[in-house]
Amino acid sequence: MPKITAPSVAEHRNQQREALIREATRILLSEGPAAVTPRAVGSAVGLARSSVYEYFPSSGDLLAEVAIRAILEWSTELTLAIEPAAPGWPRLEAYVRSTLLMVKEGKHEIADRLEGVSFSDEQVERFMGHHDALSSPLPDIMAELEVHRPDLAGALAQGMVDAAVKRIAQGEDVEVVTDAVLASLRHGFA
């Protein structure tokens, strides 16, 4: 019987699962997705490859969990940034600034590293649902701004943010890009 390092078996399993996710994230960022194998991740946390399969049936499942965790952390930070902002422009500015600052801080790197990885339809559906929720505040913010068709305006604003994410990831200055997005949004929805 393996020795557990927590007050209960359930807590021990949760700790092991979290350790696997942390290590998979580290390997993904340092070596790329192909290096995230049950053997490599298990070895790094002191588990046999066969034990890793008890937590994650495949490398794809482990990578999908890494993606979901990153999205949930991003969502939490975004919520903390926009909730205290006043309705309308202050909330839109908080959304844009927070999102683009997180890109500058490297928090989008997991998504960049996972680009091109083949996931099952179920895995894609699972983390895309979480990803789509990131832009869910935009229609409400656009409604606060009293723009026509807040849902469309929110989607267009997100398109600008997505383009800005790519520019920052390519090395553009975050402040310059952020100011350009905010100026365009202010001009376009004024």
**Measuring CA to CA, which residue among 30, 2, 37, 171 is closest to residue 113?**
30
- Ranges of each domain in the chain: 1-57, 60-188
Burial of 148 (0-12, 13-18, 19+ CB in 10 A): exposed
60-188 and 1-57 share a CATH fold: no
Q: Is the pLDDT of residue 132 over 90?
A: no
Architecture, CATH, for domain 1-57: Orthogonal Bundle (1.10)
Indicate the pLDDT class of residue 2, thresholds 50, 70 and 90.
Answer: low
Helix (H) or strand (E) holding 87: none
What is the C-alpha to C-alpha distance for residues 60 and 48, in angstroms, rounded to an integer?
18
Quickly name the fold that domain 60-188 has.
Tetracycline Repressor; domain 2 (1.10.357)
* Range 160-189 average pLDDT: 94
Q: 31-84: per-residue pLDDT in tens?
A: 999 999 999 999 999 999 999 999 999 999 999 999 999 999 999 999 999 999
Exposure b/e, 62-85, CB count within 10 A at least 16 = b:
bbbbbbbbbbeebeebbeebbeeb
Q: 73-130: per-residue pLDDT in tens?
A: 999 999 999 999 999 999 999 999 999 999 999 888 998 899 889 999 998 888 888 8
| Per-residue pLDDT at 152 | 96
